Amino acid sequence: MLFSQVIGNEPLKALITQMVDNDRLPHAILFSEDGSWGAMAMALAVATYVNCEHPSGGESCGVCDSCHKYGKLIHPDLHFVFPVAASKSLSESEKKAPISDYFLESFRQMVLTNPYFGEEDLYDTIEIDNKNGIISASEAKRLFEKLSLRAFEGRYKTVIIYLPEKMNQDAANKLLKLLEEPPAGTLFLLVSHAPERIISTIRSRCQHIRLMPLSKEEREAAGIYARVKPEYRELLLQLFNAGTAKSVIDTFPVWEALSEMGRERQKEWCFYAEGFIRKIYMTASSLENLAELDAEDAGTVRDLAAKLKPGFYETAFKALEGAIASVESNVNPKLTFCNLCNILLLSM
């Protein structure tokens, strides 16, 4: 991927290419972002640039053999690590200790189709049936084996780790050893949505670069809005209707539907709900120009902004963050979402 293909964060692109050109690039960079807004695309552009045979003007040439292979994600010195779990597509022996290599072809196709994918998109692609993906010690062991070899063709052996916060303790400890004593000519690029959940010793050995949020126009160009599932909106509006009518029984279908989703979908719905409530809050605060309303939601948002109590917003955000924490801690989903719906209803 070329930097010109990465949407937004123009100052950051210039900073990174300057570091590369001045031979000041750190051996490990942690890219963090709030959503799937370009960190993977940026990591791929960096990996392409550092191995380009003829870079010029802060951009890869796009035509050399290295750029061609990076463009197809098939360069022999490019390695991917991402959270996985046992899948029906794996053999019985592979299911015992699944690693990224078993899903690499489908992962490549997903990234090439949409580098602005999210965690749920990954799990749907590798078909892990609503399981929570992890990066295990088996993954770290395999990475050690790959990096023990010299680079085949490129200047750098490049490792892109998607969601390093999904590493279990054994994997994190093994990666820490690699970061403390990196093999010569190795570049680690970590893409995180929750850097605070990465162990501090790993974070301290990386140059942390925070990507700025994309504008509405940039998000639309990246196709991010298209990933919002219609059922998320429908469930949230059902909940608002129940809350404004003070009908507890009407919340039952909502929390039952949420409890039957996989964990990643449950978290994604909570994030969607937070974003929708933010729009209502901005509108109620006479800041509609910051709410980024679209035609489908504008009327509903304005109507709710006129009805909801001022104290609703803080209560709602705390409840949604609590639900996300409960999902991540494997709390019974029916208890989690029944409690969430009750809190939201009572605060409306």
CATH number of the domain bearing residue 340? 1.20.272
CATH number of the CATH domain containing 162: 3.40.50.300
Beta strand 207-210 pairing with 186-192: unpaired
Per-residue pLDDT, 104: 96
C-alpha of 307 from chain center: 34
Q: In the structure encoding, which two tokens stand for residue 284, read together?
A: 């109620």
Higher pLDDT, 22 or 132: 22
Higher pLDDT, 315 or 120: 315
**Residue that terminates a domain, selected from 181, 201, 221:** 221
Per-residue pLDDT, 199: 94
Q: Are residues 196 and 277 in the same domain?
A: no
Q: Are residues 39 and 173 in the same domain?
A: yes
**Residue that terminates a domain, selected from 200, 221, 242:** 221
- How far, in Å, are 51, 57, 80, 112 from residue 74 at the CA level? 13, 25, 11, 11
CB 129 within 8 A of CB 87: yes
- Mean pLDDT (the chain) is 91
Q: Are residues 27 and 129 in the same domain?
A: yes
Q: In whole angstroms, give the CA distance from residue 143 to residue 175.
A: 9
Q: Are residues 164 and 254 in the same domain?
A: no
- How far, in Å, are 89, 270, 314, 318, 326 from residue 321 at the CA level? 34, 8, 11, 5, 9
Nearest Cα residue to 33 out of 190, 171, 168, 172: 190
The amino acid sitting at 138 is S
Per-residue pLDDT, 230: 83
Q: In the structure encoding, which two tokens stand for residue 311, read together?
A: 């104290």
pLDDT tens for 223-278 read: 665 556 788 999 999 999 999 999 999 999 999 999 998 887 898 899 889 989 99
pLDDT tens for 4-52 read: 999 999 999 999 999 999 999 999 999 999 877 889 999 999 999 999 9
Alpha helices in the chain (DSSP H): 10-21, 39-51, 65-71, 92-96, 104-113, 119-126, 137-147, 169-180, 200-203, 216-222, 230-244, 252-259, 263-284, 288-291, 295-307, 312-328, 333-347
Partners of 134 in beta bridges: 84
Per-residue pLDDT, 120: 82
Q: Are residues 251 and 136 in the same domain?
A: no
CB 204 within 8 A of CB 178: no
Higher pLDDT, 34 or 122: 122
Q: What is the reported pTM?
A: 0.80
Confidence of residue 203 (pLDDT cuts 50, 70, 90): very high
**What percent of the chain has pLDDT above 90?**
73
Partners of 132 in beta bridges: none
Per-residue pLDDT, 208: 96
Could you tell me the residue range of the domain that residue 120 belongs to? 3-221
**Residue that terminates a domain, selected from 171, 190, 221:** 221
Residue 122, φ and ψ in degrees, nearest 5: -60, -50
Half-sphere exposure in the Cβ direction for 312 (13 Å, CA): 23
Instruction: Report the SS3 class of residue 6.
Output: coil
Confidence of residue 138 (pLDDT cuts 50, 70, 90): very high
Number of domains in the chain: 2
Higher pLDDT, 340 or 329: 340
Confidence of residue 195 (pLDDT cuts 50, 70, 90): very high
Q: Are residues 262 and 179 in the same domain?
A: no
Per-residue pLDDT, 224: 66
pLDDT tens for 141-151 read: 999 999 988 87
pLDDT, average across residues 327-348:
94
Q: In whole angstroms, give the CA distance from residue 56 to residue 76.
A: 23
Q: In whole angstroms, give the CA distance from residue 30 to residue 190.
A: 5
